[in-house]
Amino acid sequence: MSIEEGKDSNRSVQSRVFPLRSLQCFVLFMVLGIGFLVLSMYYFGVQNVVNKTRPNSQSCFQVPVTLRQWIKPPLNLMHKMSDEELFWRATFLPRVKKYPFKRTPKVAFMFLTRGPLPLTPLWERFLKGHEGLYSIYIHSLPSYHPNFPPNSVFYGRQIPSQVTEWGKMSLCDAERRLLANALLDINNERFVLLSESCIPLYNFSIVYHYLMKSLYSFIGAFDDPGPYGRGRYNQNMAPEVNITQWRKGSQWFELNRKLAVSIVEDTKFYPKFEEFCRPACYVDEHYFPTMLTIQAANLVANRTITWVDWSRGGAHPATFGKNDITEQFLKKVLESHTCIYNNQPSPVCFLFARKFAPNTLGPLLDLAPKFFGY
Ligand SMILES: *[C@@H]1O[C@H](CO)[C@@H](O)[C@H](O)[C@H]1NC(C)=O
Ligand SMILES: *[C@@H]1O[C@H](CO)[C@@H](O)[C@H](O)[C@H]1NC(C)=O
Ligand SMILES: *[C@@H]1O[C@H](CO)[C@@H](O)[C@H](O)[C@H]1NC(C)=O
């Protein structure tokens, strides 16, 4: 047998053997295949049942993402984010300046309080009819549970809060926490810090337009050469903070969105103030005024819009009680000021005033229509 014949004969043997072998293989594969099919049908069937019992996991994939989902404010303010997570999320900034939807800018009223807000009936009246133009945020002691009725504009406006100590960094932390929570609502444009003793001095339209049309943010920032100003500066803050840049001002600020973000994102000045501005350096009087003077001097008015009476002297401004609330007193609070608003002299300098005791509520409600226009 030649080599070629041998190959051929081998081939013919193989070809004769093939049908039997391949039939065996075919049957084996059929059995395996059917088994696999049955198993997989059972498996996916169970999966389907599981999916049907969990409609959310399915709808997540089915509802297409719309812009609305990105721009709607959080429904529940009581999130589970840490400050670190919150500040990171709150400082997302769109790079495209034009909004691809109709944005109505809002004022965020941020209440920094320990417990109750006794003057809310006055605020409710001030805010009535202006829904959609403002938002409310409350930072109080974590142990305090407010009991606003569900129809109140203050209902459910509490943010996750922590204990604060006056004059310490924990107070600035609370203010940054308020700003960060308010930044999560993309429509908030102006951010007002208030206390439980604050009252509005004009009707909502005047306050709203005064803030929205302002070229500047309102924060007290002045260079005090004395012991309670420059005297509190610590050399260790250099080079981030130089003594000529050191500023003082009351904590009750009003900021636009840009400056609110710059305060929440700050990691440059924070450690310096935390370490080197401790009592008798009161960090809440220096951190934001100094930082904003360094970073954005051309955007700050260097004055506050929250009136307070220092005329009685002492370490604390006057607190007003029921008997102080007279027509003469309110006239004095509203008039007899001049200041600069958008580079022009203006008689309207203060939009809010403090410190009003809880028992002033009655007389204030009586006189508000005549003096405050609400
Ligand atoms: C607010 O007060 C101003 C000036 O007093 C007045 O012209 C305006 O009508 C008031 N607006 C509302 C909504 O009451
Ligand atoms: C502080 O800043 C001023 C103005 O920017 C500058 O002239 C001065 O040299 C600085 N001082 C120190 C100690 O860095
Ligand atoms: C506020 O003060 C800074 C200096 O600290 C100044 O550059 C800025 O122009 C002042 N703002 C206004 C509105 O005058």
Spell out the domains of the chain, with CATH numbers in brackets. Answer: 73-306 (3.90.550)
**3-state DSSP assignment of residue 222:** strand
Residue type (1 letter), 23:
L
Whether residue 336 is predicted with pLDDT greater than 90 in this model: the reply is no
Question: Does residue 133 have its Cβ closer than 6 Å to ligand 1?
Answer: no
Q: What distance in angstroms lies between residue 213's CA and the mean position of ligand 1's atoms?
A: 17
> To the nearest whole percent, how much of the chain has pLDDT over 90?
77
Among the listed residues 214, 86, 88, the one whose alpha carbon sits nearest the alpha carbon of residue 139: 86
Query: Any idea what DSSP says for residue 234?
Result: -
pTM, to two decimals: 0.84
Q: What is the pLDDT of residue 52?
A: 46
Ligand 2 pocket test, pick from 244, 290, 293, 295 with the greatest ligand atom count within 8 Å of Cβ, gives: 244
| Peptide bond between residue 239 and the one before it cis (omega within 30 degrees of 0) | yes
* Tokens 């005329």 sit on residue: 311
**Residue 167 pLDDT greater than 90, yes or no:** no
Distance 220 CA to ligand 3 centre (A): 11
The residue-averaged pLDDT of 228-234 equals 96
Angle at 90 (CA atoms; ends 190, 212), nearest 5 degrees: 10
- Does 373 sit in the ligand 1 pocket, CB within 6 Å? yes
At residue 138, what are phi and psi to the nearest 5 degrees? -125, 125
Confidence of residue 347 (pLDDT cuts 50, 70, 90): very high
Band the pLDDT of 41: cuts 50, 70, 90: low
* Ligand 2 nearest atom to the CA of residue 242, by list position: 1
What is the Cα 32 distance to its own chain's centre? Answer: 60
Nearest-atom number in ligand 3 for the CA of 300 is 11
- Region 161-187: mean pLDDT is 96
**Average pLDDT of the chain?**
89
Identify whether the C-beta of residue 259 lies closer than 8 Å to the C-beta of residue 291.
no
Tell me which DSSP letter residue 158 carries.
Answer: B
Test site for ligand 3: of 302, 303, 340, 341, most ligand atoms within 8 A of the Cβ: 302
Task: Say if residues 135 and 73 touch (Cβ distance below 8 Å).
Answer: yes
Task: Answer yes or no: is pLDDT of 6 > 70.
Answer: no
Find the angle CA(299)-CA(300)-CA(304) to the nearest 5 degrees.
155
Rounded to the nearest angstrom, the distance between the alpha carbon of 89 and the centre of ligand 3 is 31
Task: Give the residue-averaged pLDDT of 242-250.
Answer: 97
Mean pLDDT value of segment 143-165: 95
Q: Is 111 in the pocket of ligand 3 (CB under 6 A)?
A: no
Closest ligand by atom to 200 CA: 1
Ligand nearest to the CA of 214: 3
Side chain identity at residue 374, one-letter code: Y
Q: Which two tokens stand for residue 267?
A: 């990691």
DSSP letter string over 61-122? HHSPP-HHHHHSPPS-S-----HHHHHHHHT---SS-S-SS----EEEEEEE-SS--TTHHH
Say how many C-beta atoms besides its own lie within 10 A of residue 282's C-beta.
18
Give the distance (Å) from ligand 2 centre to CA of residue 226. Answer: 19
Dihedral pair phi/psi, residue 153, rounded to 5°? -70, -10
Q: Nearest bound ligand to CA 130?
A: 1
Q: Are 139 and 113 in contact (CB under 8 A)?
A: yes
Residue 343 CA, closest ligand 3 atom number: 13
Lowest mean pLDDT among 15-29, 133-147, 157-171, 277-291: 15-29
Above 90 in pLDDT, residue 272?
Answer: yes
Calculate the alpha carbon distances from 297 to 110, 243, 247 in Å. 24, 16, 11
Provide the 10 A C-beta neighbour count for residue 211.
20
Residue 328 has pLDDT above 60, yes or no: yes
For 275, residues 6+ apart whose C-beta sits below 8 A from its C-beta are 236
The residue-averaged pLDDT of 261-286 equals 97
Give the per-residue pLDDT at 53.
Answer: 47
Phi, psi of 77 (to 5 degrees): -75, -20
Looking at the chain, the whole-number percentage of residues with pLDDT higher than 70 is 84
Residue 194 φ then ψ, to 5°? -135, 160
Residues contacting ligand 2 via CB (< 6 Å): 238, 242, 244
